[in-house]
A and B are shown apart, each in its own frame.
Chain A
Amino acid sequence: MPHLPRVLLLLLVAGLPLVGAADFAKDIKPLLTTHCTECHTDKKAKGGVDLGMFSDESAVRRDLPTWRKVAEQLTNREMPTDKAKVPLKDSDRALLLTWIDGTLKSALAEAAKVKDPGPAPLRRLTRTQYRNTIRDLLGVELDAAELVNLPSDSERGYDTYAGTLTLSPLLFEKYHAAATQVVAALRAPSSDATPAQTKAWAAVFCANPGTTPATQKSAARTILTTFARRAYRRPPAPDELARLFKLYDTVAGSRPFEDAIRLSLTATLVSPNFLLRVEADRGTRGAKEGYPLTSHELATRLSYLLWSTMPDQELADLADKGTLNQPAVLNAQIKRMLADQRARALSDGFFATWLQINHLDRARPTEQQFPAFTAKLRQAMYEEAMRFVDELRVSDGSLLDLLKSDYTFINEDLAKHYGIVGVSGPELRKVALKPEQQRGGVLGMGAVLAITSHTFRTSPTLRGKWVMEVLLGTPPPPPPADVKPIDEAAGSGKAAKSFREQLEQHVTDPTCAGCHKKMDPLGFALDSYDAVGAWRSGSGDRPLDTSGTLPNGTKVTGVADLRAVLWQERAKFTNTLVEQFLLYALGRDLITADQAVIAELVTKLEADNHRFSTLIAGVATSTPFMLRKNADLPEAKRK
Chain B
Amino acid sequence: MLNRRHLLKAAGALVALPFLESLKPAWGAEPADKDDGRPPLRQFIITIAGGTVVESWKPDKDGPLQKLPSILRPLDAHKSELLVISGLSQLGKQSGGGNAHTHCAGLHLTGAKEFVWEGKVPKSSISLDQAAAAAQAGETILPSLELGQPNGEQTYSWSAGGTTVPYEGDPKQVFDRLFKGRTPTVPTWARDKKTKNTGTTKPKTPAASDERLVIDLVLEDAKALQKRLGKADQQRVGEFLEAVHSLESRIVKMDNRAAAEANDKSGSSSKGSDLALPKDDKGWKQRWNGQDVEMRADYIELMTTLGILAMQTDTTRVVTMSFGDDGELWDGVVTVTNEFHHHTLEHQANANPVSKADPLSREACRQIHEWYSVQFAKVLSKMRAIDEAGTSLLDNTMLLYTSYMADGGHGTHDYPVLIAGRGKGTIKPGRHVAAPMDTPVANLYLEMLDRMGDRRESFGGSTGRLGQLI
Contact = CB atoms under 8 A, between A and B. Distances in A.
Interface in B290-313: none
A481 B229 CA distance: 42
A455 B341 contact: yes
Interface string B382-409: 0000000000000000000000000001
Interface residues of B, number: 71
A272 B225 contact: yes
A258 interface: no
Contact of B232 (A119, A456, A482): A119
12 contacts: A157-B120, A168-B243, A172-B246, A177-B176, A247-B214, A250-B213, A251-B213, A364-B343, A368-B338, A369-B338, A487-B351, A487-B356
Nearest to B358: A492
A366 B224 contact: no
A510 B150 CA distance: 38
Contact of A155 (B152, B236, B340): B152
Interface of B: 99-100, 118-121, 146, 150, 152-153, 159, 163-166, 168-170, 172-173, 176-177, 208, 210-211, 213-214, 217-218, 220-222, 224-225, 228-233, 236-237, 239-240, 242-244, 246-247, 250, 289, 327, 329, 331, 337-341, 343-344, 347-348, 350-352, 356, 358-360, 409
Interface of A: 119, 121-122, 124, 148-149, 151-152, 154-157, 161, 163-164, 166-174, 176-177, 237, 239-240, 243-244, 246-247, 250-251, 263, 266-267, 270-273, 275-276, 278, 280-281, 361-362, 364, 366, 368-369, 454-456, 478, 481-482, 484-485, 487-492, 589, 630-632, 635, 638-639
Given A156-B153, A172-B243, A263-B214, A630 B344 contact: no
Given A121-B233, A149-B168, A364 B152 contact: no
A149 B211 CA distance: 21
B130 to A, nearest CB: 11
Contacts of A366: 329, 340-341
A50 B15 CA distance: 60
B363 to A, nearest CB: 12
Contacts of A124: 236
Contact of B242 (A169, A247, A368): A169
Contact of B220 (A168, A243, A280): A243
Nearest to A631: B230
Q: Is the interface of A mostly helix, strand, loop or mixed?
A: loop
B239 A167 contact: yes
B446 to A, nearest CB: 26
B250 to A, nearest CB: 8
Contact of A243 (B169, B217, B358): B217
B233 A122 contact: yes
A481 B101 CA distance: 12
B222 to A, nearest CB: 5
Contact of A635 (B232, B347, B350): B232
A364 B341 CA distance: 8
Contact of B351 (A122, A174, A271, A485): A485
Q: Which of B177, B232, B350 has the most CB of A within 10 A?
A: B232
B159 A172 contact: no
B165 A239 contact: no
B176 A484 contact: no
Given A148-B173, A169-B243, A366-B329, A630 B213 contact: no
B453 to A, nearest CB: 21
Given A247-B213, A490-B358, A491-B358, A481 B240 contact: no
A175 B170 CA distance: 15
B247 A169 contact: yes
A361 B150 CA distance: 15
A456 B224 contact: no
Nearest to A629: B230
Contacts of A280: 228-229
B371 to A, nearest CB: 18
B150 A171 contact: no
B153 to A, nearest CB: 5
B232 A161 contact: no
Q: Which of B99, B119, B164, B244 has the most CB of A within 10 A?
A: B119
A635 B257 CA distance: 46
Contacts of A491: 337-339, 358, 360
B213 A263 contact: yes
A423 to B, nearest CB: 30
Q: Which of B146, B173, B221, B289 has the most CB of A within 10 A?
A: B221
B132 to A, nearest CB: 16
Contacts of B239: 166-167
Nearest to B283: A146
Contact of A481 (B100, B211, B341): B100
Contacts of A270: 214, 218
B237 A272 contact: yes
Nearest to A457: B344
A241 to B, nearest CB: 11
A263 B217 CA distance: 11
Contact of B348 (A155, A275, A488): A488
Given A271-B218, A481-B100, 12 more contacts: A122-B237, A149-B172, A155-B152, A163-B120, A176-B214, A266-B210, A267-B218, A272-B222, A273-B225, A281-B228, A368-B340, A635-B232
A159 B327 CA distance: 22
A250 B233 CA distance: 32
A267 B119 contact: no
Contacts of A272: 218, 221-222, 225, 237, 240
Given A172-B246, A638-B118, A484 B351 contact: yes
A392 B397 CA distance: 59
B233 A631 contact: yes
Given A167-B243, A487-B356, A630-B230, A151 B214 contact: no
Given A163-B119, A168-B243, A281-B228, A492 B329 contact: no
B229 A631 contact: yes
A491 B225 CA distance: 62
Contacts of A244: 217
Given A163-B120, A167-B236, A281-B228, A271 B343 contact: no
A275 B289 CA distance: 29
A181 to B, nearest CB: 10
A382 B431 CA distance: 53
A166 to B, nearest CB: 5
A149 B170 contact: yes
B348 A490 contact: yes
Nearest to A170: B166
